[in-house]
Amino acid sequence: MIERHQLVPFLPPNAKILMLGSFPPPKQRWCIDFFYPNYINDMWRIMGLIFFNDKNRFCILDEKKFDREAIIKFCNDYGIAIFDTASAVIRHKSNASDKFLEIVEPTNIYALLEQIPNCHAIVTTGEKASATLVETFNCDIPKVGSYIEIHNPQELRFYRMPSSSRAYPMKLEDKAKAYKKMFDEIVF
């Protein structure tokens, strides 16, 4: 069964960076209607550590969910656009693992970039997202934590970052260091 993406791209007009995951987990794993919605995913803890020195900055601890409004304000304030590299998938197991996703409709990344003309960096947050973007731009894949330059259609940096999934074998603090380095290079 084909599963279509349930969220619309989040594209603030001032976006300098486009963060791309692969595809959201099954809806029953969501704690908010926004990107990186699984409470055990570390993306919003990484952002809290980097920008506020507080891994729980975006957490509502007693409800075990993220603060959607605070996240949206943060992304708007810092010019962070977010979507995924797949718009439709077949999920071969009912879990959040990328290895069981078959992408049947890649996202039109060019159409997203047209809507955020000040964007100068694309960031993939996992292996499947990185591989899909490589197919889109017909480019090499950067090493985890680094970037390559791409010139299609505009000059961009393509960063491949550690996955924010808890299944990725890296401590939260080390993931945050890698993401902070990237944000420092992009000049936020």
Query: Which tens digits make up the pLDDT trace of 22-72?
Result: 999 988 999 999 999 999 999 999 999 999 999 999 999 999 999 999 999
pLDDT score, position 151: 84
Residue 33, Cβ density class (10 Å: 0-12 exposed, 13-18 middle, ≥19 buried): exposed
SS3 content of the chain, % helix, strand, coil (to 5): 35, 25, 40
Cα separation, 41 vs 172, whole angstroms: 10
Query: Which tens digits make up the pLDDT trace of 141-174?
Result: 999 999 999 986 678 999 999 999 887 878 999 9
pLDDT score, position 97: 75
Q: How many domains does the chain have?
A: 1
pLDDT score, position 169: 76
The per-residue DSSP string of 109-153 comes to HHHHHHH-TT--EEEE-SHHHHHHHHHHHT-PPPPTTEEEEEESS
Residue identified by tokens 């963060």 is 19
In the Cβ-directed half-sphere of 164, how many Cα atoms lie within 13 Å? 27
Structural domain of 68:
2-186
CB atoms near residue 145 (< 10 Å): 17
pLDDT for 187 beyond 80: no
99 or 116, which is more confident:
116
- Max Cα distance, the chain (Å): 46
pLDDT score, position 111: 95
CATH number at residue 77: 3.40.470.10
**Quick one: pLDDT band at residue 77, thresholds 50, 70, 90?**
very high
pLDDT score, position 96: 67
Query: Which tens digits make up the pLDDT trace of 173-183?
Result: 999 999 999 99
pLDDT for 115 beyond 90: yes
Q: What is the pTM of this model?
A: 0.93
